């Protein structure tokens, strides 16, 4: 059997503060029915700590699940488009915190496709024998870039982190095929300008420039087309058909996108895992968080054929076909939690609301 990369540990970190659709009704002209009908989202989580803290806890949980010490790792990769700092990388900070002495570490940014892109990198290194034990994390603190009176963006996104440990396998389990793609010409449909070097040196204080730019209708069409096409290609590369798939774990972007894309593939609802209703779109964190939730829910069995598929800013897309290994229960459990907070959701949103207030000076006051 060829050497492949198989997932042996998994974990997630869900921030404790919930932003519900009812909360959003106080901030903008919207309601629960309107949001659910268009997105499938009822709640999303906001983090009171940094993305690095989320990544660290997800990492510790994944390592405990795999029964592995951090010192055993060869490499840590963090997929994120909202790093706490550009330098040092989130991966380097996680490496230091968990004690993965001597491991390599780097960040990867493919927006919402980040975990799929990261899996392709990790799988390639393990298959080539250049790495043996790798920790891949998806972590995002997206709420900082949201204008919470703009219902085209802020109803969608939440914060969180998920992680997976990959190890070599020679029993047929692991990553079977990879499909990746991008179309930079459509990159203007999803833009976060605030973290780049564009413009004069110095901080960006213009709310219009800072906030997420998102063209919802254009993104919907591009996402449905490219997710379904990518998933179809990866199945062909693996020598499989849609009938062979036990579970699709898609990026949790929008329930309507997921339903439309999997319908094109001929995959029924009962073979698709979604947790978007309670977590929203967590970008690169969504697939590893969904993998962890799917395992907790008993939706993954040993030897299952699973497709991971995603679409994100850039624009990027990608799919992974993999065969699950022989273990679906954790070896151990990490008992740590995030620091407690007594902040309400509106406490967490106050800085965002104040910063973007000039854009809404002519609108009714927030109730």
* Catalytic status, residue 251: yes
Give 146-167 as a 3 state SS string.
CCCCCCCCCCCECCEEEEEEEE
CA distances from 256 to 11, 39, 111, 269, 325 (A): 26, 6, 20, 12, 31
Catalytic residue flag (residue 43): no
Q: Do residues 56 and 2 lie in contact, with contact meaning Cβ atoms separated by under 8 Å? A: no
Tokens of 161: 């982190």
Q: Are strands 316-323 and 174-182 parallel, antiparallel or unpaired?
A: antiparallel
Is 132 marked active-site? Answer: no
Dig out the tokens for 26 from the structure: 């106080």
Report yes or no: 181 and 318 within 8 Å, Cβ to Cβ.
yes
Please count the residues of the chain: 367
Using DSSP's 3-state secondary structure scheme, residue 281 falls into: strand
Considering 13, 81, 112, 275, which one is annotated as catalytic?
A: 112
Q: Is the peptide bond before 92 cis (omega within 30 degrees of 0)?
A: no
* Burial category of 326 from C-beta neighbours within 10 Å (exposed 0-12, middle 13-18, buried 19 and up): exposed
List 21, 251, 254, 352, catalytic entry: 251
Q: Which residue among 21, 226, 275, 281 is the active-site one?
A: 281
What are the residue numbers of the active site?
Answer: 112, 251, 281
């Amino acid at each position: 059997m060829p050497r492949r990369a198989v997932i042996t540990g998994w974990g997630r970190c869900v921030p404790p503060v919930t932003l519900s659709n009812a909360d959003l009704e106080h901030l903008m002209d919207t309601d629960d029915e309107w949001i659910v009908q268009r997105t499938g989202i009822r709640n999303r989580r906001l983090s009171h700590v940094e993305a690095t803290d989320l990544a660290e806890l997800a990492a510790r949980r994944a390592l405990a699940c795999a029964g592995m010490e951090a010192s055993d790792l060869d490499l840590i990769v963090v997929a994120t488009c909202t790093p706490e700092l550009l330098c040092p990388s989130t991966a380097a900070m996680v490496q230091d915190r968990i004690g993965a002495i001597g491991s390599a570490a780097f960040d990867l940014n493919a927006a919402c496709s980040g975990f799929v892109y990261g899996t392709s990198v990790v799988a390639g290194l393990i298959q080539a024998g250049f790495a043996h034990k790798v920790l891949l994390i998806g972590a995002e603190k997206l709420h900082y870039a949201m204008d919470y009176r703009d219902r085209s963006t802020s109803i969608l996104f939440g914060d969180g982190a998920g992680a997976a440990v990959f190890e070599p396998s020679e029993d047929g389990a692991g990553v079977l095929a990879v499909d990746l793609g991008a179309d930079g010409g459509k990159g203007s449909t999803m833009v976060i300008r605030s973290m780049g070097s564009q413009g004069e040196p110095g901080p960006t204080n213009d709310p219009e420039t800072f906030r997420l730019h998102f063209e919802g209708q254009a993104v919907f069409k591009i996402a449905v087309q490219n997710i379904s096409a990518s998933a179809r290609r990866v199945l062909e590369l693996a020598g499989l058909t849609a009938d062979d798939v036990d579970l699709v774990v898609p990026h949790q972007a929008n329930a309507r996108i997921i339903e439309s894309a999997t319908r094109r593939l001929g995959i029924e609802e009962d073979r698709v895992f979604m947790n978007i209703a309670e977590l929203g779109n967590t970008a690169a964190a969504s697939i590893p968080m969904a993998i962890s939730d799917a395992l907790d829910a008993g939706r993954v069995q040993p030897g299952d054929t699973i497709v991971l598929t995603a679409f994100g800013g850039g624009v990027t897309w990608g799919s992974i076909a993999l065969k699950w290994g022989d273990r679906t229960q954790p070896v151990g459990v990490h008992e740590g939690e995030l620091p407690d907070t007594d902040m309400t959701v509106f406490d967490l949103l106050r800085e965002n609301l104040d910063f973007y207030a000039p854009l809404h000076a002519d609108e009714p006051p927030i109730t």
